[in-house]
Amino acid sequence: MAAFSATISESSRFLSSTSLPHDAAAPKRKISASPFPSQCRSFSLPKPFPLSRLGVVSQWGRGKSLNICVQASVADISVETSMDKVHLPKGNMWAVHKFGGTCVGTSQRIKNVADIIVSDDSERKLVVVSAMSKVTDMMYDLINKAQSRDDSYISALDAVLEKHQSTALDLLDGDDLATFLSQLHHDISNLKAMLRAIYIAGHVTESFSDFVVGHGELWSAQMLSYIVRKNELDCKWMDTREVLIVNPTSSNQVDPDFLESERRLEKWFSQNPSKVIIATGFIASTPQNIPTTLKRDGSDFSAAIMGALFRARRVTIWTDVDGVYSADPRKVSEAVILRTLSYQEAWEMSYFGANVLHPRTIIPVMRYDIPIVIRNIFNISSPGTTICHPATEDEDGQRLESPVKGFATIDNLALVNVEGTGMAGVPGTASAIFGAVKDVGANVIMISQASSEHSVCFAVPEKEVKAVAEALQSRFRQALDAGRLSQVAVIPNCSILATVGQKMASTPGVSATLFNALAKANINVRAIAQGCSEYNITVVVKREDCIRALRAVHSRFYLSRTTIAMGIIGPGLIGGTLLDQLRDQAAVLKEEFNIDLRVMGITGSRTMLLSEVGIDLSRWRELLKQKGQVADLEKFTQHVHGNHFIPNTVLVDCTADSNVASCYHDWLRKGIHVITPNKKANSGPLDKYLKLRALQRQSYTHYFYEATVGAGLPIISTLRGLLETGDRILRIEGIFSGTLSYIFNNFTGTRPFSEVVAEAKQAGYTEPDPRDDLSGTDVARKVIILARESGLKLELSDIPVQSLVPEPLRATASAEDFMEQLPQFDKDLARERQEAEESGEVLRYVGVVDAVNQEGVVELRRYSKDHPFAQLSGSDNIIAFTTTRYKEQPLIVRGPGAGAQVTAGGIFSDILRLASYLGAPS
């Protein structure tokens, strides 16, 4: 048995001001070798003593699956055989917990954390704690202020003091409080001196800065340890700078030195053996004992390293969300919690910006198959997300349908594109490019090279791009001058959207679906990268498109539900009926077809109603009255399109207003789909119409207007179907006006024409002024819409229209005057009808598109009594398509072509057509 001197060694102190006098936790006293192991508190190893002799064999650097735990516990050490040495027990008896800043944000929360620690019945517990929320930011701010010689660093430091002092006053009392406050004041006065030095120098070194910012963790860990110790007597706090040794790397990161850390941990533990250890997150030391940090958000990494050093059973990361979501819940409200993630998936998610976990957290724990569980301190009942080896994934039988697990984004990037024919086949070009990038210390986030080798494109943080571009310009000066390289281009304002999922590798078509979702949301992809591991597909998009892109792909893969934000313009008779139809059908659409239609806004000409989550359609009339604000179409559009979490937007124009119609172009350009029964855009000036259709065809934005002709009857879609399948339109002829259909169906010789018109007006079939129907303009608009749809380039003025309003009555002031005078003209139409009757014919008011002669007309025509047009009743429309295929017998569509219910129904079916274009199941 080796004889050890059982002395407490002074733990290595980097700067005396930062260390808590260990008297609270680990009394600095000399303990002589005792026969009672429990009293063997702290011992130091003789320097050259090989760890293996103590049975503590380092596992570092061995194969991945090594999970051997050294089980010796304090109680196992017999004085005779343990050489008076307290070993660090390792393995399953340890549970590691990490509490993020928000978990320890207030005194009440710190108490809550202490309760969680105490109620964990694990044999041993190692707790890693972050600084109180915002404190690390405050500390960085102090440095920035001092460095830029801004005196307010003094008051900012006071605020730091005040925050911790008041928390301590809330939490602690007696000796604990006195000791803590004395330490706090001591630290603050040292910090003041240091910041003063930084202020004078106007400069700060990294290690100085790391030393300052790490104080938040020192204070929070100490406060927590006092509270825990009230319940768990065997509790020590650990200044991890004494244990965690890391080497700085060139890329502003640090690599843990596991061997040295393990050695120091053994030493620390031998001096502070305890069952509960409260350790500082974030901070560490270099091998030269200089304080450093694990960089922003590094406490997760601290916990993972600790988990590995202790070979813990599990590392639980407590934060303020229920676990890892399929996307950042602040950006995608529909994101769902992922119950399990593989290490690889978690790594990819965190690397690409899911800041719920620091990306480097995975590596240390993966080595020992230690699961990480992310849990919500504010919702303890939620099981959280378990990150573990895929073998145990989906154990509970919960198979995720989507091959894609989650999405993450990184903003503030720039793309650099190095392009030129001289790059192809020249070995070493890529290495020269990235050599130059490395020289300026820039971090390359993704790389994409076309297989033609004509260009290499990569993304770097925006703030580094200037230096990168300059370095490349100078490195390739000669090649640029000689034209071998054509350019080094910088594309600023980019973001990365990463799609992550281990099953993507074995599922064909994932990228097609991804790009399809992006195209449908009208998002331009600037660069693409997919590693051969296929864990992730990364695309670069414009920064302003990023959130929309994220939502579009998320809803496509994850929700598998087509969610559409709708804005309804014109809640009059038709718009109102549509809203009522939507109200009645919404639940069925959602449940049976996974189509989620949300009306985010309703606007009339004076008032509009906006909602962040979707208007309750059972009360829309009441809400519009109560909560309506002054209508503003621009604001309305912006709200429906931009201010929510839904990737697809449609504006439904239920007005007959040409001002509203003139906005369609702009809306389509912004990626907003448009659906309308308003004829004004398609029958307006030809050049505008052509521009609109060209824009619609170029983009993936949809413009549907079935209800402009024949209300709910499938007229436009029938015509499209014919054209798209290669049929050729010869002629379209039809009764397009429900009103005029009614009038002539009832003008059978028993009553004068004016009486039939009066009856139609009474029954509500006509416009308030029947001249609007009788003039034929409305029919002419429908003719022009069908003519243009068939490829004819006609203006409205090219269509001769026979008006049924007698010439002398066209200028009559009111509808009433008109109706009063109309009987005077009855005889003309009576005569015409009589003549037709005599030759076995009827009068019908029709519109005709003559595609062969490229013309159209609207007029009163005579049809033989056995013609389909003569068989109509009520206000039916009838449309006959004569085509190359339907030459002998035209294709006829017939049915009610007017009225609020059928028109709204036509609009509704356009909305569902849009949903299916956007991926809803059929």
Chain residues binding ligand ASP by CB under 6 A are 100-101, 130-131, 136, 216, 281-282, 296-300
Specify whether 542 is catalytic. Answer: no
Question: Are 57 and 90 within 8 A, CB to CB?
Answer: no
**Closer CB to ligand ASP, 218 or 911, in the complex:** 218
Picking from 221, 223, 236, 227, the residue whose alpha carbon sits closest to that of residue 86 is: 236
- The position carrying tokens 């389509």 is 668
Q: How far apart are CA 388 and CA 49, in angstroms?
A: 36
Picking from 339, 910, 885, the residue whose alpha carbon sits closest to that of residue 676 is: 910
In 590-630, where do the E strands start and end? 595-603, 607-610, 629-630
**Closer CB to ligand ASP, 298 or 671, in the complex:** 298
Amino acid in the structure at residue 772: D
Question: Are 707 and 903 within 8 A, CB to CB?
Answer: yes
Q: Select the span of 37-45, 319-327, 439-447, 668-676 touching ligand ADP (CB under 6 A).
A: 319-327
Burial of 174: CB neighbours in 10 Å, binned 0-12, 13-18, 19+? exposed
List the catalytic residue out of 503, 761, 782, 793: 782
Q: Select the span of 316-324, 540-548, 734-742, 782-790 touching ligand ADP (CB under 6 A).
A: 316-324
Shortest Å distance, C-beta 105 to ligand ADP: 9
Binding residues for Mg ion, how many (CB under 5 A)? Answer: 1
- The position carrying tokens 């010689």 is 149
First and final C-alpha spacing in the chain: 80
Shortest Å distance, C-beta 387 to ligand ASP: 17
**Closer CB to ligand ASP, 132 or 740, in the complex:** 132
Which partner from the list Mg ion, ligand ASP, ligand ADP, none does 457 bind, CB cut-off 5 to 8 Å by kind? none
In 462-545, where do the E strands start and end? 487-500, 525-530, 536-542
Q: Select the span of 79-87, 99-107, 529-537, 602-610 touching ligand ADP (CB under 6 A).
A: 99-107
Q: Going by DSSP bridges, is the β-strand pair 446-449/385-388 parallel, antiparallel, or unpaired?
A: unpaired
Which partner from the list Mg ion, ligand ASP, ligand ADP, none does 354 bind, CB cut-off 5 to 8 Å by kind? ligand ADP
Which partner from the list ligand ASP, ligand ADP, Mg ion, none does 320 bind, CB cut-off 5 to 8 Å by kind? ligand ADP
Using the Cα atoms of residue 443, residue 446, residue 451 and residue 452 in order, give the sign of their dihedral: negative
297 binds ligand ADP (CB under 6 A): yes
Shortest Å distance, C-beta 298 to ligand ASP: 5
**Closer CB to ligand ASP, 360 or 556, in the complex:** 360
Shortest Å distance, C-beta 319 to Mg ion: 7
**Closer CB to ligand ASP, 101 or 684, in the complex:** 101
Shortest Å distance, C-beta 530 to ligand ADP: 20
Residues in the chain: 922
Q: At what angle do helices 753-762 and 738-746 cross, to 10 degrees?
A: 130
List the structure tokens of 911.
Answer: 């909305």
- Among 305, 324, 514, 743, the residue binding ligand ADP under the rule CB under 6 A is 324
Shortest Å distance, C-beta 256 to ligand ADP: 19
297 binds Mg ion (CB under 5 A): yes
b/e map 621-637, b = 16+ CB within 10 Å: eebbeeebeebebebbb
Q: Cα–Cα distances in Å, from 824 out to 53, 623, 740, 808, 815?
A: 122, 49, 20, 11, 15
Residue 108: CB atoms within 10 A of its CB come to 11
Shortest Å distance, C-beta 358 to ligand ASP: 7
Contacts with 92 (C-beta within 8 Å, 6 or more apart), sequence order: 69, 311, 312, 313
**Closer CB to ligand ASP, 73 or 130, in the complex:** 130
Which residues 353-392 are close enough to bind ligand ADP by CB under 6 A?
354-356
**Closer CB to ligand ASP, 102 or 326, in the complex:** 102
Shortest Å distance, C-beta 225 to ligand ASP: 17
Shortest Å distance, C-beta 140 to ligand ASP: 9
Picking from 479, 510, 304, the residue whose alpha carbon sits closest to that of residue 403 is: 510
Residue nearest to ligand ADP (CB): 100
DSSP per-residue letters across 864-893: ETTSGGGG--TTEEEEEEEESSSSSS-EEE
Shortest Å distance, C-beta 110 to Mg ion: 17
Residue 479: CB atoms within 10 A of its CB come to 19
Shortest Å distance, C-beta 312 to ligand ADP: 19
- Among 219, 325, 744, 881, the residue binding ligand ADP under the rule CB under 6 A is 325
Which partner from the list ligand ADP, Mg ion, ligand ASP, none does 282 bind, CB cut-off 5 to 8 Å by kind? ligand ASP
- Among 37, 89, 100, 575, the residue binding ligand ADP under the rule CB under 6 A is 100
Q: Select the span of 100-108, 448-456, 470-478, 677-685 touching ligand ADP (CB under 6 A).
A: 100-108
**Which residues make beta-bridge pairs with 238?**
279
217 binds Mg ion (CB under 5 A): no
Q: Select the span of 239-247, 320-328, 842-850, 861-869 touching ligand ADP (CB under 6 A).
A: 320-328
Shortest Å distance, C-beta 137 to ligand ASP: 7
Binding residues for ligand ADP, how many (CB under 6 A)? Answer: 18
268 binds ligand ADP (CB under 6 A): no
Contacts with 743 (C-beta within 8 Å, 6 or more apart), sequence order: 753, 756, 757, 760, 845
Which partner from the list ligand ADP, ligand ASP, Mg ion, none does 324 bind, CB cut-off 5 to 8 Å by kind? ligand ADP
Shortest Å distance, C-beta 138 to ligand ASP: 10
**Which residues make beta-bridge pairs with 432?**
none
Q: Going by DSSP bridges, is the β-strand pair 729-735/876-883 parallel, antiparallel, or unpaired?
A: antiparallel
Which residues 330-349 are close enough to bind ligand ADP by CB under 6 A?
330
**Closer CB to ligand ASP, 281 or 307, in the complex:** 281
776 binds ligand ADP (CB under 6 A): no
Picking from 659, 452, 650, the residue whose alpha carbon sits closest to that of residue 564 is: 650
List the structure tokens of 573.
Answer: 């008779």
- Among 37, 89, 91, 101, the residue binding ligand ADP under the rule CB under 6 A is 101
Half-sphere CA count of 178, side-chain side, radius 13 A: 3
Which partner from the list Mg ion, ligand ASP, ligand ADP, none does 912 bind, CB cut-off 5 to 8 Å by kind? none
| Residue 823 DSSP label | G
**Closer CB to ligand ADP, 187 or 217, in the complex:** 217
Q: How far apart are CA 203 and CA 199, in angstroms?
A: 7
Which partner from the list ligand ADP, ligand ASP, Mg ion, none does 446 bind, CB cut-off 5 to 8 Å by kind? none
328 binds ligand ADP (CB under 6 A): yes
Question: Are 499 and 554 within 8 A, CB to CB?
Answer: no
Q: How far apart are CA 385 and CA 322, in angstroms?
A: 8
Report the SS3 class of residue 158: helix
Q: Select the span of 297-305, 341-349, 388-396, 515-523 touching Mg ion (CB under 5 A).
A: 297-305
Picking from 47, 17, 44, 15, the residue whose alpha carbon sits closest to that of residue 28 is: 44
**Closer CB to ligand ADP, 324 or 517, in the complex:** 324
**Closer CB to ligand ADP, 181 or 337, in the complex:** 337
- What phi-psi label fits residue 384: left (phi over 0), alpha (psi between -120 and 50 degrees) or beta? left
Contact characters 45-84, ligand ADP, x per CB under 6 A: ----------------------------------------
Which partner from the list ligand ASP, Mg ion, ligand ADP, none does 330 bind, CB cut-off 5 to 8 Å by kind? ligand ADP
Q: What residues make contact with ligand ADP under the rule CB under 6 A?
A: 100-102, 130, 297, 319-321, 324-325, 327-330, 354-356, 406
Positions marked active-site: 782
